[in-house]
Amino acid sequence: MVVSAPALLVALVSATLAPWVGASTAARDYLDRMSHSFRELDYRGVFTYQYGSQLESLRISHAVRDGVERERLVYLNGEPREIIRDGHQVSCSHAGNDMLRLGGQLAQGPFARSLLQRDDISDHYLLALGARTRVADRSAVELLVRPVDEYRYGFYLYLDADTALLLKSLTVSPSGQVLERFQFAEIEIGANIDDSELQSAQGPTRHPEHFVIEQTGVDSGAQVELPRPQWLPPGFALSARSVRQDDPQAPRLVMYSDGFSTMTLVLEALEAGIDLPVDGKASRGATVAYMRSINHDDRPYLLTVVGEVPLETARRVARSVMIQREPT
C-alpha cells in the first residue's frame, strides 16, 4: 500500500467532483510526509548535484538517536571535506519546513509572532501528482510544484513511494529551464547506521551554525540595525535570523522562506565615509545574489540578497530594503 488510506479515499471522492483538487490533496499529503521523513528516518545514500555542466557527488548518512538528528555529508570529489550536523532535535521547529506541514506549530516568541504570517503552501504553488516512476531503484511518485506567480521557481519532486523521502528534485525557472538537479543514485532507507559512520574522518569539517528566529545570546533590550524588506513575494515569511553579539560588525542575516524557496538578506556595515553606489549581481545554477549599497544614518551598508529565486525577485527585494533599528 503506497498511498495512505485516508489520502486515497479523499482522492477518490474528490476525483469524481474535481480531479485537480483531489490530486492536490493527495499531493499536499505527500508534502507533509516529506517534511517529516528527511529528518526522522535513518538513511544512507549517494546523491548528485548538477547544474549546467557541473556535477558534484556527495554521500549522506542520517540517523536519529533519542530524538536527536545526526548527519554527515561527505563530498566525494576534489579536496576531502565534510559537513557534520549533530545534536539537532527532531522536534526543533523551522518555519520554512513547517510551511509544508499540515497543522504544524507556529514558531514561538513575540518577534516571530509579529512577523510570521503563515500561508498554506498551496496558496502559492499548484500541486499535482504526476506519473509513478523509479529513482535510485525505488518506486517513486512524481510531484509537480508549479508557482502561481513568477517570483519563485517551480519544482519537480520525486518522492519515495513508501516513505515520502525526497529522492530527486529539479528546480525549474519561470521560463521552463531546469536550473539544478539533486538526485540520489542509490539510497538505503531504514539503514542501520553505526556511530563511526557519523563521525568526521577526513579533511576540513564544517559544523553548520543553527539559528532560529528568536536569537539567543543577544542582550535583551539591545537594538540593532536589521534589513527590513518593504516588499516580499506573497507567502515568504521570516524563518531565521542571526545577530552576533560578540562581533557588532559581523553581518546580520535574516532569512525568508515560502517553504520551498529561501532568501537570505545579509547586511554588512562598511567603513564610514564611503558614499558610493554598489550594484552587482551573481548567479549560478538556481542560486542568485544581488548586492547593493545603502546609506542609513550617514553610514554606508552593503546589502546582499542570496537565494534560490529568480534574479528579478532578488533585485526587487534588495531594492525595497530599508534599514531599521529593531529590538533583538
Q: Which of residues 83-102 bind another protein (CB under 8 A)?
A: 83, 85, 88, 94-97, 100
Distance of CA 175 to the CA centre of its chain: 22
| Closer residue to another protein (CB): 13 or 108 | 108
184: its cell numbers: 540520489
Torsion, Cα of 29, 35, 37, 40 (10° steps): -130
**Candidates 2-10, 111-119, 223-231, 251-259 — which segment interacts with another protein by CB under 8 A?**
251-259
Regarding 296 and contact with another protein (CB under 8 A), the answer is no
Residues 185-224 as x/- pattern, contact with another protein by CB under 8 A: -------------------x-xxxxxx-------------
Contact 233, 152 (CB under 8 A): yes
d(CA 119, CA 138): 33
Residue 106 makes contact with another protein by CB under 8 A: no
In angstroms, what is the minimal distance from the CB of 275 to another protein?
Answer: 9
CB of 165 to another protein, least distance (A): 9
Q: Considering only CA atoms, which of 249, 248, 302 is closest in space to residue 280?
A: 302
List binders of another protein among 118-137 (CB under 8 A). Answer: 130-131, 133
Number of residues counted as binding another protein (CB under 8 A): 97
Q: What single-letter DSSP state applies at residue 197?
A: G
Give every CB contact of residue 169 below 8 A, 6+ residues apart in sequence: 155, 156, 157, 158, 181, 182, 183
- The yes or no reply on residue 81 touching another protein (CB under 8 A) is yes
Nearer to another protein, 24 or 257 (CB): 257
Residue 177 CA neighbour count, 13 Å, CB half: 10
Which one among 7, 140, 170, 193 touches another protein, defined by CB under 8 A?
170
CB 242 within 8 A of CB 253: yes
Selected from 107, 145, 198, 266, the binder of another protein by CB under 8 A is 266
Binding segment for another protein among 16-24, 70-78, 190-198, 228-236 (CB under 8 A)? 70-78
Written as nine digits, the cell of 115 is 512577523
CB 195 within 8 A of CB 68: no
Binding to another protein (CB under 8 A): which residues in 135-164? 142, 156
Among 112, 140, 179, 187, binds another protein (CB under 8 A): 179
Are residues 215 and 185 in contact, defined by beta-carbon separation less than 8 angstroms?
no
Residue number with CB closer to another protein (14 or 46): 46
Alpha helix locations (H) across the chain? 5-17, 19-40, 95-98, 110-115, 311-320
Q: Which three cell numbers stand for residue 318?
A: 534588495
Q: Of 35-64, which residues contact another protein (CB under 8 A)?
A: 35, 38-39, 47, 49-56, 58, 60, 62
Q: Does 177 bind another protein (CB under 8 A)?
A: yes
Torsion sign, CA atoms 217, 219, 220, 222: negative
Based on the shown chain and the rule CB under 8 A, indicate whether residue 227 belongs to the binding site for another protein.
no
